[in-house]
Structure 1
Amino acid sequence: MQGTTAKPRPRIDPVSRGFWDNARAGKLSVQMCQDCGDKHFPGSPVCPKCLSENQSWAPVSGKGTLLSWVRFHRAYWDGFRDDLPYLVCLVGLDEGPLLMSNLAGVEPEQIRIGARVEAIFESIDEEFTLPKFRVSD
């Protein structure tokens, strides 16, 4: 993309690496405590429920409920200017955790809170694949 400003990129660290590896493979995942079974997102070095350090990334269904959404008309980072306006959503995954992402493939007038959604994946490059959501009803 010559001549365009790059979008900010997620920072991959030892805690988040499993999430990004799974996304690159087309799988949505949340962190799961191996001691108490709590599923949570974003990832953390310790379980927010029992404080165990025994965490792993577990694939989930990628299905959930649209809890909220907003249409951005302003680019807070120059790299998003060409995407304006774009949709950002808050999804309650069927497995429990909340995830914020982009809503794709739907016009704003067709969106309804409570709609069923499912994860889709957009390959950015060899390193990054971004999970997004589309309405599935």
Structure 2
Amino acid sequence: MSIREALRRAPLVEQIPGLHLLAVGHGWDAVRVPREVGFPALALLRSTGTALGPVLYDRPGDRLYYAIRPGDARSWQAPVRLLSTGSWLVAPGPYQAAEWFGGWCELPDDGTLTDPGILRTALKLAQAEAVSHARP
């Protein structure tokens, strides 16, 4: 099931208009990364013309979530975490954003998912870049 379809079917989060509770692991998994690594990786992926699946920015958690195909069992190294069956995401509708919450950096418009191998490479490059800038 595409993320757009999952959003249509997902229940609303009580007391918070416009936010849905998405079950992860049904047609897609999510890779959670800190903002400091997630945004540079997103910029790199965009610059290379890589096909991107939905990318969600969670401002309160200061994280990005990349939608990938399910079943990528290879370990993801900290600070990256794979979310799959049994995990849940709180997400706004596709065209909704709130200053306090964040929103979609890449919209869930079709069934496209980010390739896990390409994402892994972009995240490693972004982490290496962050480390090199942190050194005096």
Task: Give the TM-score category using the shorter length.
Answer: under 0.3
Q: Which one has the bigger helix percentage?
A: 2
Q: Which one has the bigger strand percentage?
A: 1
